[in-house]
A and B are shown apart, each in its own frame.
Chain A
Amino acid sequence: MANMDLAAEPLPDPSPATLLRRRVLGHHGLTFGLGVLIIIAAAALFAPFLAAHDPYAQSLFARMKPPFWMEGTDPAHILGTDQLGRDYLARLLYGARISLMIGVVTALISGLIGTTLGVVAGYFGGRVDLVVTFLINVRLSMPVVLVALAVVALFGGSLETVILVLGLLLWDRFAVVMRASVMQLRDLEYVNAAKAIGCSTRRIILSEIMPNVVNNLIIVATLEMAHAILLEAALSFLGLGVQPPTPSWGLMISEGKQMMLFEPWLITIPGIALFLLVLAINLVGDGLRDVTATENRG
């Protein structure tokens, strides 16, 4: 009869933090994505401590050593070495830094540009909207790879160039999504109600509208982060992005492609890393949207 006593006790209201934790842990996609992302981020952050070798150190005596699960492996190089004898694990860890940095910085730059344009267009409408829509169309008519090609031809490829090119090009989806979601909100009565209590336009945009569109911003930001990481890999693969000897996953795939048929792990290892990172980012974006959606807030 212990149950009777329990029933008599009123259930305590769970605190918002408890609810949030419960929602995050209950979302398997989000927990998996976060887990993978945290591992990759930690690997990137602590690369100097985790890697036993210098990612740039070449050794002609230890070229093309296979990874641990294959015959003829060298215990000093768990994931083997590339054609210049550089430790593959070290390059992979340092490459995570490049990928994450490209993803985050690009999403920040393009997010800032795109969100500003989109919110302004969506809120004010009219001519402002026409101008922004025109800018979006102009941007969409420029293929990213061609622009990158032109820029690299003019200024030479480097990490900074890639980040800048991607940051200045990938804002279109931010602008489109923000414009549409702000447009939906700007005529709602609580925006009018905010005007009616004397809020300024700046305040209305920043504190009435933004909290309600930030979900969409999160999804777009993660999508664009993944997009930027993949584009960097593609550009580096084409020789338009990060230049050797910098360890970038795209570049590693590019350098390994001649040996693809004989030593497939040269491209599968960075390929799998790239796949996992992009998958994790997308899962996290999706999960964050589900968890923070205002309609589930309790």
Chain B
Amino acid sequence: MEHPAADTILAVEGLTVDIPVSHGTLHAVRGIDFNLRRGETLCIVGESGSGKSLTSLSIMGLLGKRLKVGARKMEFAGTDLRSLSQAALRELRGNRMAMIFQEPMTSLNPAYTIGDQLTEALLLHRKVSRRDARARAVEVLGKVGITAAESRLAQYPHQLSGGLRQRVMIAMALMCKPELIIADEPTTALDVTIQAQILRLLADLKREMNLALILVTHDLGVVARIADRVAVMYAGEIVESGTAEEIFKRPSHPYTRGLMRCIPVPGRTKPGEPLGSIPGIVPSLIDRVEGCAFRSRCEFAEGACAKPIPERTAASGHVYRCVRPVQEERAA
């Protein structure tokens, strides 16, 4: 019998990121938990400054020394990431876990050709010849839908368009056949049609290679298209998480509902009608934050919101942190 956890590629419990600032400590990520299985896509959603990118960078171990990362548990395929040495972490990065960055314009080194950059990870981690590495690069470029891959290898990043560069970034992440890919807003810098292509590509590749994918985004349209599971972050906490279907059909946390009201729905949103918005701003996370961080902007806030909020499980099986959850179903 197979152990149920064997399928889990990433297990995170109680992840915190603290940033020392001139007067106190900024608790940018405040104790988040999630599990990710092979072949699953987790979307982390939230507005700017909610700690999405910090979460993904801390999993890769890419945060600077100034930022303090803590966790009760942080396991990648059964290995405790916290106990690994720098060298062992480097061995994992790019090899078994890869990252796709937000800015295709600055994520490629202008001094090297596409071919050099694609083969770098492979040559670093595997004992392969330069020729085999280039063959693999051509293969992967074909996989991400780049035609005339052979001739692209000799080109420099400035000779490629934004969409192509993002494809190259994805190809770079795929070179070593990783088990986990973390994509930090991979489509934000691209225009809408390219965005759709890149998302479809990510979804196809994930299915084909049984990848686990963490997609950090603030675009719920992206989430609806690609996610198996969704975690909604607000002020450094996961306020609601569950399967994508559940979250879209029955958002329980007022923040999640607020987010969904912000998306125009073709056919239903009338021209000239204002879109939903969430009043107020994200509270300061410097020093201790008590209770629900959303209460200052929440229309349902009450006295109990100032006390620590326990995690609750809805009847439908998804988890949320709210004392006054919204119950009714949302017209899909």
Chain A residues within CB distance 8 Å of chain B: 126, 188-190, 192-200, 208, 211-212, 294-295, 297-298
Contacts and interface: CB of A to CB of B under 8 A. Distances in A.
B284 interface: no
B158 A295 contact: yes
B93 A212 contact: no
Contact of A196 (B93, B103, B106): B93
B121 interface: yes
Given A189-B103, A298-B159, A196 B98 contact: yes
Interface in B71-128: 89-95, 98-99, 101-103, 106-112, 120-121, 124-125
A197 B101 CA distance: 12
Contact of B110 (A126, A192, A198, A295): A295
Contacts of B125: 198
Nearest to A213: B111
Contacts of B62: 192, 195-196
Given A192-B101, A197-B98, A199-B94, 9 more contacts: A190-B107, A193-B99, A194-B109, A196-B93, A196-B101, A197-B121, A198-B121, A211-B111, A297-B156
A197 B109 contact: no
B172 interface: yes
B326 to A, nearest CB: 38
B66 to A, nearest CB: 8
Contacts of A194: 109, 120
B60 interface: yes
Contacts, number: 72
Given A189-B102, A295-B158, A297-B156, A197 B94 contact: yes
Interface residues of B, number: 31
Nearest to A297: B156
- Top 3 nearest A-B pairs (CB, nearest first) are A197-B94, A211-B111, A197-B121
A294 B99 contact: no
A197 B124 contact: yes
Contacts of B103: 189
A190 B109 contact: yes
A297 B110 CA distance: 9
Contacts of B156: 294, 297-298
B165 to A, nearest CB: 11
B54 to A, nearest CB: 13
Contacts of B169: 193
Given A192-B62, A297-B156, A197 B120 contact: yes
B107 A189 contact: yes
Contacts of A198: 89-95, 121, 124-125
Given A196-B62, A197-B121, A298-B159, A189 B106 contact: yes
Contacts of B91: 198
A197 B172 contact: yes
A194 B111 CA distance: 13
15 contacts: A189-B106, A192-B107, A193-B99, A193-B107, A195-B60, A196-B60, A196-B62, A196-B93, A196-B94, A197-B93, A197-B94, A198-B89, A199-B90, A297-B158, A298-B159
B111 A294 contact: yes
A193 B172 contact: yes
Looking at B60, B89, B95, B99, which has the most chain A CB atoms within 10 Å of its CB? B99
A105 B109 CA distance: 32
B195 to A, nearest CB: 18
Contacts of B121: 197-198
A196 B159 CA distance: 24
Contacts of A126: 66
A298 B158 CA distance: 9
Contacts of B98: 196-197
B58 to A, nearest CB: 13
Contacts of B102: 189
A297 B94 CA distance: 28
B124 A294 contact: no
A212 B111 contact: yes
B109 A208 contact: yes
A195 B103 CA distance: 16
Contacts of B60: 195-196
Contacts of B107: 189-190, 192-193
- Most chain-A CB neighbours within 10 Å: which of B101, B103, B108, B109? B109
Given A196-B93, A199-B90, A188 B112 contact: no
Contacts of B108: 190, 193
